[in-house]
Structure 1
Amino acid sequence: MRIDIITCVPDLLHSFFSHSILKRAQQAGHAEIVVHDLRQYSTNKHRTIDDYAFGGGAGMVMQVEPIARCIRDLQSRHEYDEVIYLTPDGERLNQGIVNQLSLKGNLIMLCGHYKGVDQRVRDLFVTRELSIGDYVLSGGELGAAVLVDSIVRLIPGVLNDETSALTDSFQDNLLAPPVYSRPADFEGSKVPDILLSGHEAKIEDWRYEQALIRTRTRRPDLLD
């Protein structure tokens, strides 16, 4: 999978993709993540990519022309399944959407900034709009980082144990059950005996029951 991210503040993203699982995924050739500085596609000497909004009002708007040049340049060299715009008024991201996107080929992610992008960008180029939650950030970069991380970890070969992702929260509309590690007894707080029994079927039953209890308590909406 190739993921191209369009942003006016690329330095916000470089560090995030240079560590841990995302770094290993790129080194192993499972994913290619490329960050593009939108200002490189500006044609004026000041490299501006925003302007005042028609009709007045507070805040600046990202212009259509630099974004169009960037997207068209990328599309002339690669085939893409989606052009995703990270925006607070987009479809709220969930595990089902992440699962779908992990099966795609190449993706473009556009990070909004200021008051957002010119509506014509959304009308002419964007194929999907996503939000990571009902709140507003200074830009779409953190949303893009979250989206990339959630997608790339599902690509086969990225995680050492591929079954790990299948038991994460939300995969079956359930939250993950409690997990424990050594020591078995910490200051009198002990690991449940069932997890030490070695009986795989009973352990799985216990984990499923605990996942149901946790989901019913914390996120009953998922069970609906």
Structure 2
Amino acid sequence: MGKSKVIAIDGPSGSGKSTIANNVAESLHLTYLDTGAMFRAIALTLDSRLISSVDTTGIEQSLAKMKFEYQPSDSVLIQIDGKDLTEEIRQHHVSTLASQFSQVPQIREFLKLKQREIASEKASILEGRDIGTVIFPNAALKIFLTARPEVRAKRRLEELKTRSPNENYDLQKILADIVKRDQSDQNRSVAPLVKADDAIEIDTSEMTISEIVDQIVGLFNQNKKDFY
């Protein structure tokens, strides 16, 4: 099997995947797919329809009729059945919903096909939790980002404050949620969070965004022949 023209970035919640992937995509002019946003959009939609993560029949029926639109852009426009969910999915509680629904095989298969379809059109960068192990096991470059839980909690807090400065957030609750999400992602039976054997691990705890981006761009340049 030949290599896919994909940079796969995996890692736990709050490790900086979205920010880093977006910046690398801009630097290298790649298509950026935020797979976590896709899961959050579906989780939010199903939850709003009172469909639980264990309602297999309800999920299958909803997915069969769902019009899912993802437009890779600066604003990462996600629409489901005509409703723009781009901003709503960034609310903190949606991350917990996504963790529950992301364990459903039917949802993972639905989005895997969507992600492969979009990424097949041109060189792309995808970030998530199983990009390098399940979605694109033949990705030309695999990165595994990580950081200490307390660092990831502080980053998530700053992100939430930026999006909703008038809201009050509890750092300790955010930390507890991140630890719980880690355990859920690592121990789930379907596509658990795990570093691919051939992925390059980068601990971002003490690194700036520009340092991380520069390192990944450098790795891309070393493997440029696999993308063109």
Shorter-chain TM-score bucket reads under 0.3
When Rg is computed on C-alpha atoms for both structures, the one with the higher figure is 1
TM-score of the two chains, using structure 1 as the length reference:
0.28
Which is richer in helix?
2
TM-score of the two chains, using structure 2 as the length reference:
0.27
Bigger relative contact order, structure 1 or 2, given CA contacts below 8 A and separation 6+?
2
